[in-house]
Structure 1
């Protein structure tokens, strides 16, 4: 006996993504598990494109509720050359996607010519104009501000024609056109020339809603007659979670209901309280987005689409309007912080809160004393994944690094007379920049807002509130920035500066090594220390200043830094790596250039000096393989070559990236300790000083004498004789900065 497999709570098929315990499906699939087909397959239809001319029209896959364009185009010499000659809709009959017969375009008619024909067109020509307008707007991504304006004007003129609701073909085509306009790029609507056009269109839609019932992918219209005993009219849109587009939404109109429904699956509902009923009609319009309502005050920065609903009554009056919204958004990414109940004020062409109050429980509720286009404006805050507190391994690694850098700096200063001053200065500046960076990193990298975030466990929609007028103020944005933290911004600036300075000093150290080792017979350039200091500390300051000047604005600190932790901003609002953020052009690119320069210097030094004989340099003995390896590692550490591992973390493979992440953290958290071991602890001077301080650990010195024997051969003597002598071994001075490199003289 076999049993059905038990599916996980959120098991999604066909590339669906689990979000908040439910599957978010690609548009080709619907259903609770994304298991239902939501498209019509590729098709070929033989159509009569003109009198007596038959042509096979090919249509690619079409999403349910949308129109697809034919692969065949109009002739090049026609007005609509290269435009698809036909469109075809895919609708759903039950659960089966079904193709409708195609609509054929008049290739010699464009939007401008159609607009000129509307006024004089009779009822027999209106359908053709509406159909051609729909076809010409069937590719919303190609629509411009001008084409949107012309198409909207055509729609207004047709919808205002007498008895247009009786011409179902024309009405459906025009509503399809309006729906397609709502799919156009939103940037095309940010034009003052469209304000009057869209205002005229939405007002006309309110009037048209009194006589028609039409549903398209982005818009729905419902109309009901008023009865003498009608006291309330409730319009509700309940989303069918198995499908997920407006055609699948259950649109329902109920009369004489006691109030708004409490069903949480209802996305939007509007209740009209009727008085002075004169047997009129009520019309409702539901927009799936607000592109026709472009506000100069409320700006949308997220991709969240708000629904607009209007209620219009003819032959009666209302004593009030009640609305409830249950918006669907990604609760794992956003947290609702505030909302405002608004209507579209045609006198100002913007949202207004006049005459409306707001409240909240499971729904975002509104009460208004008039009818028009309503919406609820929402302000979200991104749920930042704040960085976790540093782990003990990080504290240990960075702590050891700080200790090593302090020891190295002090050692270099106190023993500076044993080497060239430029060598001491270069290494001390490198260690100092790295030391300050580590101190700031370990003490300030965590954002203090993280503590407030962890203590704020109650979301806005869980905070119930009765209806309130005073708090119903117009919002200015759909995204609310987290509390300003000037301390975090200052930390990000300092980390940016000192880390760039660290890399700059590694480049200068590599240049110095090149000059000392590969150009050993030539002196260093004049004013070498001053020049290196200006470059090492000045260039990072210039980069940081330019970055701040171009990105930071009052109240917009997140243009410069991240919120998750105090470091440069890298991701956009959709959590994608952004080329415009400062992380790329003010850090990754400069550091990549420095590391490339250091790598070239490293190859030159290791090949020409460490692992090969140089004619300009002489050795007093052959270096062992181990010493050559230590010398190579020393150059790698001081030039920061290990930071190249950080770029390998960008590999788009989880396991590989994780390995490089651990390697990167270990190597660079302990870089200061590595410098201390290689450039301080291994120094003969350091060992000697330690032996002098800790005599108890030193081994008693036993004089060692070298034995020499000299032979003399003289013609005056038949036998040779010799003379023996003993001498102490010679001591040689050591250049501690290059102590790990092979000895040269």
Structure 2
């Protein structure tokens, strides 16, 4: 683990900067060349032309000489050039995109776009129209010509409601226009509402309800892909009946074409195999991509005519692979639909809280088919390196119940490390998925570990000696200074001990992951250990004693301020009692509110972290959440105290550093002692924690590294600093550093009572309170 004092303040794991690690995302760009054979016909019909081409990916074993020539951002992995989405080929030199159009030659400007995808024009509908801000046109990047097809223009007054009304009884040409208009109206997922999603789903279902022309199908599939990009929160209010009808229409689409067809958009793919030959096995493979989306070159469909014929395994280069095995060979049609996420399959029993993709594959099999089994594989890893697979379930979607079911499926972990499902469904149209549950994947760096352990341990010793020294020598100083310093030492010592022995969540760190053999639908995709109370208790105590430390630091500053303001009478007599109530009571109030408002036995992570026994501060997407107790239960009170302490330090420094005209040069305090005095007060006020706030807002890696080391060194050794400045120096010099300059300000630390009366009139005694200067102890 790295410097844990950083975790307490910012909860930032700093090992990536410290160790300069390179984090490899599991979704690195990949263009698979090695050991791939395929033959797929892509057929595109437009209003102006009909083009048919045959796309072949053949086996290519690259030697090292060729592979080392990877270009355009490609890199060598396992003897293969892995290319970004917009390039392909053995050395990543084949363009996989359409260039941006020129406004001087074209009516609209379209950006650089991947093959087979739609581009939206930069020109938008003007203000005052129902579609203000929506692109005026879209164009398909043709996979054959590598250029944009003729644009599809949008009537800026047209709405989804109007399209839904006019689509019935429309001609093929009119449907084509309405299909392209629907695609443009849904091209900005951020603007989609639940109502828009429902209407677009209804329109697309109608467009796909009969034998659909290819250009209409392409626009419809693009529309569905765009709907899948909408926020998951929007789908809670969507009409699920419209979505269910849409998924059925997509299954029909996969069997409507008269030849092997592949329709691919970023969030979905539709593939069909026509029964022109005997089929015994069918295998769909989706390969990893740079942007975790689908492109034609990364969707692969293989089939075999014999039981013992081996299909390509592709090793670990795929995101999903489904194999359908039949008992006997047949020559009927098979259709497959691949969804990039499970937005269309909203479950009541399974709730998603992590931003992790769950791909769903739909198989449309022949009626009365003799199915042996369906095998589904996905890599047993998350695209988020901070998460690791805890468990998974193999499920089928029940349309009637609108729910996932584990019936007819068993799960296993393959020898290659893939989560594998084997199902034997008894229906023709099936939607498969693997529901995964992830837990935190915490990796610890030991780079600054010993700074924390050594510094905190020495601080505990120094604070203990300081507290004992303050009590033993209490008669030589006033009550308030001793009370304040002892309580600072006490709260800080307990905090350090809790920090050393309790900050690590032993349950999370020690437990080994073991997959359950039982196939059950999980409640969520995020697994958390049941709360045994230990880590929550440590979190509450850490929060309490750290807040108490800063509260007593602030009270110490208030005591110094009162000494300056009341040079004659000193600290008010009520101050010690108020200090005790505030010093121990205020932190208890803050901890009580934090714990009571956020902690639940079933949801302990609302209050604390999972990795460490400390306050929660991030949401499930690893973004800082101001609603978490880390902000308002610690950072906010702390910043108020630090501002107050900083103001006190400035006030103190101004008073001790200015020249007193009533003193001659022989009585002036040297600058060195003035600076040391200010530094001593800064240590007692805990102002080194200000570096933590600078670290929070810093973006530059080198600066973050420097600040983290400074933060760790200063704050883990704060107890040692207090011991040196307030105990050791006092023992050696009989005068703490902070008091060397108080002679200038004429601050008294003891109250002594003197009786004064007029000469020869004893009866007229009047009592005054004066002070005597005693510099043998801190204020």
Query: Residue 326 of structure 1 aligns to a residue in which SS?
Result: strand
Q: How far, CA to CA, are the matches of 2:66 and 2:385 in structure 1? A: 22
Larger RCO, structure (CA 8 Å, separation 6 or more): 2
The partner residue of 2:368 within 307, 311, 316 is 316
Query: What is the match of residue 377 of structure 2?
Result: 325
**Higher mean Cα deviation, 524-533 or 348-357?**
524-533
Q: Which of 413, 419, 422 is matched with 1:366 structurally? A: 422
SS in 2 for 1:59: coil
> How has the CA–CA distance of structure 1 residues 27 and 483 changed in structure 2, closer, same or farther, with 3 Å as cutoff?
farther
Q: 1:298 aligns with which of 343, 346, 350?
A: 350
Correspondence 1:545 to 2:545: no
What is aligned with 1:648?
Answer: 694
Contact preservation (8 Å) 2:340, 2:357:
yes
Q: Does 1:435 align with 2:487?
A: no
Q: In structure 2, do the counterparts of structure 1 residues 589 and 37 end up closer, same or farther at CA, with 3 Å as the change threshold?
A: farther
Distance of aligned partners of 1:92 and 1:552 in 2 relative to their CA distance in 1, 3 Å threshold:
farther
SS of 2:107's equivalent? strand
Question: Which residue does the alignment assign to 1:474?
Answer: 521
- CA spacing shift, 1:511–1:142, aligned 2, 3 Å: same
- In structure 2, do the counterparts of structure 1 residues 671 and 226 end up closer, same or farther at CA, with 3 Å as the change threshold? same
| TM-aligned CA deviation for residue 106 of structure 1 | 2.7
Select the residue among 211, 236, 239 that pairs with 2:287. Answer: 239
> What residue number does 2:615 align with?
568
| Alignment partner, residue 424 of structure 1 | 482
CA gap 1:7/1:414 in 2 versus in 1, 3 angstroms: farther
- CA gap 1:624/1:72 in 2 versus in 1, 3 angstroms: closer
Number of the residue aligned with 2:264: 216
Q: Please identify the structure whose Cα radius of gyration is greater.
A: 1
Aligned-pair distance for 1:491? 1.8
Partner of 1:737: 777
**Matches for 1:62-211 after TM superposition, within 5 Å:** 62-74=113-125, 76=127, 79-93=130-144, 97-161=146-210, 163-164=211-212, 167-191=213-237, 193-211=238-256
Q: What's the TM-score, normalizing by structure 2?
A: 0.77
CA distance in 2, matches of 1:141, 1:620: 74
2:740 corresponding residue in structure 1: none
CA distance in 2, matches of 1:274, 1:396: 68
Q: Quote the offset at 1:509 in angstroms.
A: 0.7
Secondary structure of the 1:271 match is: strand
- Aligned partners of 2:637, 2:506: CA distance in 1, in Å? 29
- How far the C-alpha of 1:349 sits from its partner, in A, is 0.5
- Indicate conservation of the 8 Å contact 2:84/2:290, yes or no: no
Conserved? CA contact 2:528–2:610, under 8 Å = no
Which residue, 328, 339, 344 being the options, matches 1:287? 339
Aligned length: 665
- Unaligned 5+ segments in structure 2 are 1-62, 736-771
1:11 CA drift (Å): 10
Aligned to 1:385: 443
Shift of 1:240: 7.0
> Structure 1 residues 524 and 183, CA, compared in 2 at 3 Å: closer, same or farther?
same
Contact kept in structure 2, 1:210 and 1:314, CA below 8 Å: no
Give the direction of change, closer, same or farther, for the CA distance of 1:680–1:118 in structure 2 (3 Å limit). same
* Equivalent pair of 1:223/1:284 in contact (CA under 8 Å): yes
Tell whether the 8 Å contact from 1:336 to 1:379 is kept in structure 2 after alignment. yes
Greater alpha carbon shift after TM alignment, 515-524 vs 572-581: 572-581
Q: Is the 8 A contact 1:387 1:446 kept in 2?
A: no
User: Per-residue displacement from partner, 1:105-156 (whole Å, max 9, x unpaired)?
Assistant: 2333211111111222233322222122122122222111111111110111
Within a 5 Å distance, the mapping from 1:352-363 to structure 2 comes to 352-361=405-414, 362=416, 363=418
> What's the secondary structure of 2:365's corresponding residue?
strand
Distance in 2 of aligned mates of 1:241 and 1:738:
66
1:685/1:72 CA distance change after superposition, 3 Å: closer
Whether 1:404 and 2:466 are equivalent positions in the alignment is no
Other structure's SS at 1:216 match: strand
Is contact 1:320-1:369 (8 Å) kept? no
Q: Distance in 1 between matches of 2:650 and 2:664?
A: 21
Normalised to the residue count of structure 1, the TM-score between the two structures is 0.80
| Aligned counterpart in structure 2 of residue 636 of structure 1, from 665, 682, 693 | 682
What SS does structure 2 have at the residue aligned with 1:330? coil
Whole-Å Cα distance in 2 between the matches of residues 301 and 666 of structure 1?
38
Distance 1:562 1:17 in 2: 38
CA contact (8 A) 2:85 2:290 kept: no
Matches of 1:387 and 1:559 in 2, distance apart?
Answer: 26
Residues 333, 383 of structure 1: 8 Å contact kept: yes
2:502 is aligned to: 444
For the 8 Å contact 1:289–1:307, the answer to whether it is kept is yes
